Amino acid sequence: MKRPDVKVFVSDIFQEKAYLIYSDGNAIVIDPGNCYNSIIKFVKNKHLNVLAVLLTHGHFDHCMSCKSFQENGVLVYIHSLDADKLYTDGNLANMFGIHFDKLFANRTIEEGELCIGNFELLILHTPGHSAGSVCYIIDNYLFSGDIIFENGIGRTNFYDGDYKQLMQSIQKIKPYLDNGYKLFPGH
Ligand SMILES: [Zn+2]
Ligand SMILES: [Zn+2]
């Protein structure tokens, strides 16, 4: 499989970044945010088939349009420890006074390898920002969610955040970044 292309969309809520990874007519979405319409427009233009929505964690700013994807037959994946955030106040939407369409994930994931269509992914469990935060590695791309940004690290002051765990998680992905993997952060 040739190196997939990545298209970035930016949510107008907290500038959350949604990523569409595509190759050979198939695509996966990482953290759609509230970008459903713009992603679908792009997908239709390029005649892509969206195979899955993968979430780095369950905070609402990353997950807002999951329900729309799911209602259109796209499976939603999230780590088991963040799965309940999709239908509880754990997604923090209420805290920010924002409407969130609740849903149940189609698949819960753990650390390890995952194949979706032609896409081969490595999932790293990287808690600290939330208990079920993960990073996804595809080719030499690393999608970090909210554990690390271009200029800083994620917040740990939410109820299941943990600073020490976050530091350990950053150590876990550091070798990839040192080896030239390209970072695609959540904001
Ligand atoms: Zn978050
Ligand atoms: Zn976020």
List the pLDDT tens digit at each of the 187 positions of the chain. Answer: 689 999 999 999 899 999 999 999 999 999 999 999 999 999 999 999 999 999 999 999 999 999 999 999 999 999 999 999 999 999 999 999 999 999 999 999 999 999 999 999 999 999 999 999 999 999 999 999 999 987 888 899 888 999 999 999 999 999 999 999 999 999 9
Q: Which residues surround ligand 1, an ion (CB under 5 A)?
A: 59, 146
The pTM score is: 0.97
Give the separation between CA 31 and CA 54, rounded to whole angstroms.
6
Helix, strand, or coil (residue 181): coil
Strand bridging mode 75-79 / 107-109 = parallel
Give the separation between CA 145 and CA 33, rounded to whole angstroms.
11
Measured CA distances, 20 to 2, 49, 73, 179 (Å) = 16, 11, 17, 23
Give the separation between CA 66 and CA 34, rounded to whole angstroms.
8
Separation of CA 25 and ligand 2 centre (Å): 29
Q: Which ligand is nearest to the CA of 59?
A: 1
Give the separation between CA 94 and CA 152, rounded to whole angstroms.
26
Separation of CA 186 and ligand 2 centre (Å): 6
In this structure, which amino acid lies at residue 102? K
Separation of CA 145 and ligand 2 centre (Å): 7
Q: Which ligand is nearest to the CA of 92?
A: 1
CATH superfamily entry for domain 5-185: Ribonuclease Z/Hydroxyacylglutathione hydrolase-like (3.60.15.10)
Give the separation between CA 118 and CA 126, rounded to whole angstroms.
25
Give the separation between CA 187 and CA 10, rounded to whole angstroms.
8
